[in-house]
Amino acid sequence: MTILEELTPIFQEVFDDDGIVLTRQTTADDIDAWDSLSHMNLIMAVELKFKVRFALGELQSMKNVGELADLVEKKSK
C-alpha cells in the first residue's frame, strides 16, 4: 500500500467525507472543508498514524498532498 493510499482514509475521517479521492496534486482548494483548524487536525492525525513529527517550516512549504506523502516517506525511514 502506498503512503497516498494510507493517507486517503485519514483525509476522509478528518474532513468527514468518504468521497475524497486523493491524488498527488490534491490541494486544500480541492476539499471544501479544508480550513486552518481541519488542517491542524489532519497534520496531527498523519503524525499519529505514521509516528512522525513535522516542523512548522516543513508544513508551510507543502503545496499538495504529493509533497505531504513524500515528506511522510522521508521521515518514516
Burial zone of 71 (CB within 10 Å; 0-12 exposed, 13-18 middle, 19+ buried): buried
pLDDT at 60: 86
The residue length of the chain stands at 77
Q: Which three cell numbers stand for residue 26?
A: 490534491
> Domains of the chain by range and CATH?
3-76 (1.10.1200.10)
Q: Going from the first residue of the chain to its last (77 residues), give the mean pLDDT of each consecutive group of 10, the final group possibly shorter.
A: 96 97 96 94 97 92 95 93
Residue type, 35: D
pLDDT at 59: 87
pLDDT at 56: 87
pLDDT at 66: 97
Contact 54, 44 (CB under 8 A): no
Q: Is 0.85 surpassed by the pTM of this model? A: yes
Using alpha carbons only, give the angle 58, 62, 63 rounded to the nearest 5 degrees.
170
